[in-house]
Amino acid sequence: MLRKGLIATFSLLLVLSMALAGCSSSSSSDDILVYGRGADSKSLDAAVVTDGESIKVTKNIYDTLVDYGDDNTDIQAALATKWDVSDDALTYTFTLREGVKFHDGTDFNADAVVSNFKRWMSGDGEYYYYKSMFGGFEGDAGHVIKEVKALDTYQVQFTLTRPQAPFLKNLAMPVFGIASPTAIEKHGDKYGENPVGTGPFKFVEWKRGDTITLEKNEDYWMEGYPKLSKVIFQSIPDNQSRLNALLTGAIDLMDGVSPSDVAKIEGEADYQVFTRPSMNVGYLGLNVEKGPLKNKLVRQALNHAVDKQAIIDAFYEGQAEPAKNPLPPIIAGYNDDIDPYPYDLEKAKKLLKQAGYGDGFTMELWAMPVPRPYMPDGKKVAEAIQASFAKIGVNARIKSYDWATYLDLARKGEADSFLLGWTGDNGDADNFLYVLLDKDTIDSNNYARYSSDKVHDLLIKAQSTPDEAERTKLYKEAQEIIHEDAPWIPLVHSKPALGAHSKVQGFTPHPTGSDKLTKVYFK
């Protein structure tokens, strides 16, 4: 049995685990879970992060007003026990759970909710998700939330400027976890290193590039939970090293299992594989403000130059399907009538010539430096695309940065083209199309900097109607325009795999990619 609490670094973890291998399996009576992942977090201030590595930690520190089901995106009570919606869908009144404390001992109440929303809507910070989900900040024309006010200690009321169909689903996103106003004021710009929520686990320690340790919130409002006494998030960027750590007992659970390693884990009697529901898209973004990529015909040509099935066969072991739209088929509103760009090099050359680039051109192709659920090996996929582009005369120079820099620079529009992806946050088409490709979200999550007034009008209309049939129609129309404008090369919808020791119980991989570990235990 491993003594995880005594292990400070992954190197030491691995050395010890290898020494113990053969005389030990993973924990049995131990209630400390070591979760191996591909990269470190950027921040633990839930409101400022957009990367999955940060969110998978903050999801366990904070609670939201409402939450998703254990294995779906259906809305259920969390910090709010009930809510009433006015007939015109412009007023939401939430009744809050009483007796809940933040980890610093201060009270959770309506004033704390108001304080958090005032912080986010002020725009005085990098609250990318708030901007993406609620149409901008206070004072912006598209801002959806007109007012948030406390009616009494445990009632808070939201007034909207227009109906927003996915409003509750948006509130359930981990980035809108309610933080302690006292802690925010106390730590200032260092709050992201000193997070305080009401969630099942409390922050203990962050060793940059190595581990983040959380401990059980003994006063958690869910009676009998959490089961674990500690969770340690261990950063192990290399997929093979992370797998070795799992199979030698150094970690208990790992995400980012390489598709080629799934069978290996399944072949081990003491281990199990979890498959996360596919609610994602991996893509190559084409910056529509950069050089030849400003030309729609060039972007269409590049779409024709990528053999998606070959990429899936080479790097996904069949654990993915080709993508043709920016959202996966399981999301309501998916347009299955769209014909994907076929792999056709002659068509691609013809389009390049028509665009005035018959002799080709040179561009950057950014390769993500860390494995992601939708992209097990960004460098190899980039090399495959580079080879394809070379066949039509496009010289793609591969570049990469550390993960935080990669995201920051790509967001600012520095990349010509970039590999990236998205796992849906709330199960709604709005969370893909509006968040990733609306003109409102340029400088936020719209890294391709795509802007279409027609698409914008359709997406805002879809947000504002409660009629699901009408919303589906609008989203399908928006996808037709996006397909024609080609700001992305949609690549895959993957089926992400996680590996765990068989003693890990109560774990349910959530389709959003953010797992709350409240119910996990060791048998």
Helix (H, G, I), strand (E, B) or coil at 52: helix
Structure tokens at 258: 């390489």
91-96 and 155-160 beta bridge pairing: antiparallel
The reply to whether 54 falls in a domain is no
Q: Are residues 218 and 351 in the same domain?
A: no
Q: Using an 8 Å Cβ cutoff, are 30 and 522 in contact?
A: yes
Q: Are residues 151 and 294 in the same domain?
A: no
pLDDT recorded at residue 30: 67
CB atoms within 10 A of CB 187: 16
Task: Kindly report the backbone phi and psi dihedral angles of residue 324, in degrees, each rounded to the nearest multiple of 5, phi listed first.
Answer: -125, -15
pLDDT recorded at residue 252: 97
Q: Is the pLDDT of residue 22 over 70?
A: no
Q: Are residues 371 and 443 in the same domain?
A: yes
pLDDT tens string 27-85 = 444 699 999 998 899 999 999 998 889 999 999 999 999 999 999 999 999 999 999 99
pLDDT recorded at residue 13: 45
Q: Is the pLDDT of residue 24 over 60?
A: no
pLDDT tens string 279-320 = 999 999 999 999 999 999 999 999 999 999 999 999 998 889
pLDDT tens string 197-222 = 999 999 999 999 999 999 999 999 99
The reply to whether 36 falls in a domain is no
Our measurement of the distance from residue 210's CA atom to the centroid of its chain's CA atoms, rounded to an integer in Å, reads 21
Reported pTM: 0.83
Structure tokens at 202: 């409390």
Q: How far apart are CA 52 and CA 307, in angstroms?
A: 27
Q: Are residues 399 and 347 in the same domain?
A: yes
Q: Is the pLDDT of residue 6 over 50?
A: no
Query: DSSP string covering 407-452, please?
Result: HHHHHTT--SEEEEEEE-SSS-THHHHHHHHSGGGBTTTBTT----
Q: Are residues 213 and 298 in the same domain?
A: no
Q: Are residues 237 and 112 in the same domain?
A: no
Q: How far apart are CA 474 and CA 465, in angstroms?
A: 10
The reply to whether 32 falls in a domain is no
The reply to whether 26 falls in a domain is no
Burial of 267 (0-12, 13-18, 19+ CB in 10 A): exposed
Q: How far apart are CA 245 and CA 238, in angstroms?
A: 11
- Kindly report the CATH number assigned to the domain that includes residue 384: 3.10.105.10
pLDDT recorded at residue 52: 85
The reply to whether 81 falls in a domain is yes
Name which of 24, 61, 421, 11 is nearest 234 in CA terms.
Answer: 11
pLDDT recorded at residue 39: 87
Task: Kindly report the backbone phi and psi dihedral angles of residue 521, in degrees, each rounded to the nearest multiple of 5, phi listed first.
Answer: -150, 170
pLDDT tens string 73-126 = 999 999 999 999 999 999 999 999 999 999 999 999 999 999 999 999 998 768
Q: Are residues 319 and 393 in the same domain?
A: yes
- Kindly report the CATH number assigned to the domain that includes residue 230: 3.40.190.10
pLDDT recorded at residue 12: 44
Q: Which domain holds residue 150?
A: 64-179
The reply to whether 405 falls in a domain is yes
